[in-house]
Amino acid sequence: MPDFRKLAALIIVACCSITVNAQSAFKGLENLFDTPENYVVYHVDRPPVIDGNINEQVWQQVKWTNDFGDIEGRDKPKPPLTTKVKMLWDDSCLYIAAQLTEPQIWSYIKKHDAVVFQDNDFEFFIDPSGTTQPYYEVEVNPLNTIWDLLLTRAYRDGGASVSSWDLPGLKSAVKIQGTLNDPSDKDEGWTVELAIPIKALMANSRSQRLQDGTIWRINFSRVEWDTKVVDGKYVKLTDDKGKNLPEHNWSWSPQGLIAMHYPERWGYIQFSKQPVNSVTFNMPYAEEQKKYLWLIYYRQKQWLSEHKAYATSLHDLGIDDHASISGKENTIQMEATNHQFMAFIKDSDGKEIWAIDHSGWVQKNPDRRHE
């Protein structure tokens, strides 16, 4: 008869070993695997009027997001100015309301598709497909100047930004609580209201309509420059060489580094047609699986930087070929050459396969199945 005490001890050691191995695989990358923020976006029959007034009754029924924090995450100081967002949707648009406290409101850029973040601004980034390719960015300053652009993929992977792309049907409005470009007084802040046509963001999707429960990736950012007043005008502070001091970057969901163009780090929004404040966001199981794909991606980029070629095995990357996720055993595979790679994860049910390639493109059930 077996010694069940010894067997139990061996199982505990084995489980601890698996946990330690999983933790060690992520070591050094913890900042890129903090759980992103989430927000449930509720459906409305009568949408808000886009005039910059976010005190309208339709906005009062839904909650604010958490206040924005430093883009790098939890270990950085809390921003001195508050920024927060609300969202709603109907069958035609996603609606965004933002509130930015600001004691001195200034803005000078008036040309559409100029580099708006050279002023203080509010920005949103959105990836409806969750594949990271393509995605969209919109920036707006207190003058309601818009810079809207399409990103073919993240800059880190050779992506191009298409400023000539305009978000069809976008409506925006800004309301100033104070006076613009007047250093002689103290302002309260400014509010932004946006209506983003859903069809314009789902051009690459098989479906042109949102469903109850649909999840998108999104993040919001605020750029804030340090300034002084010279001859009645706001001027950015510079270093000893005359170069502008770095801007402050505050975001809704922490990126873990000073870079908004990591779409996999954005927050989650879940569209709901249920009664307001009745739904709790639950992280999709597939998102937990994708963490291991992104782990491979990051480790491969590190390997490429050090060895001038991709690793050809998971072992080289210090990653196990199995992972337990929500009680299900998952198998991880990778195919690689010196110049490219593709990694796959599937669980014991084997109904879905998720994949990632060297360009950061995430796919569900890729054409070439790996059993």
350 contact partners, CB below 8 Å, separation of at least 6:
371
Residue 248 CA, chain-centre distance (Å), reads 18
d(CA 333, CA 344): 5
Q: DSSP character for 119?
A: S
Alpha helices in the chain (DSSP H): 4-26, 57-60, 198-201, 285-307, 314-317
Rounded-to-5 percentages of helix, strand, coil across the chain: 20, 30, 50
Render each residue's pLDDT in the chain as its tens digit; 371 residues. 444 344 334 333 333 333 445 568 899 999 999 999 999 999 999 999 999 999 999 999 999 999 999 999 988 999 999 999 999 999 999 999 999 999 999 999 999 999 999 999 999 999 999 999 999 999 999 999 999 999 999 999 999 999 999 999 999 999 999 999 999 999 999 999 999 999 999 876 655 679 999 999 999 999 999 999 999 999 999 999 999 999 999 999 999 999 999 999 999 999 999 999 999 999 999 999 999 999 999 999 999 999 999 999 999 999 999 999 999 999 999 999 999 999 999 999 888 999 999 999 999 998 754 44
Q: CA 368, CA 371: separation in Å to the nearest integer?
A: 10
Look-up of token digits 């996720």: 325
Cα 296 to chain centroid distance, Å, stands at 19
